[in-house]
Amino acid sequence: MNTEIHTEQASLSDLDEIMHIEHTSFGVDAFSRQQMAYLVSHAKGVFLIARYNKKIAGYISFTTSNRHNTGRIYSIAVNPEYRACGIGGILLNKTIEYAHQKGLRSIFLEVRIDNSAAISVYEKNGFTKRSIKTNYYHDGAAAYSMVLHL
Give the residue numbers annotated as catalytic, written as ranges.
Answer: 110, 122
DSSP string over 79-96: -GGGTTSSHHHHHHHHHH
Q: How far apart are CA 73 and CA 92, in angstroms?
A: 9
Q: How far apart are CA 21 and CA 88, in angstroms?
A: 13
**C-beta separation of 76 from 61 below 8 A:** yes
Q: For 137, which DSSP code?
A: S
* 143 closest CA partner among 108, 105, 103, 115: 115
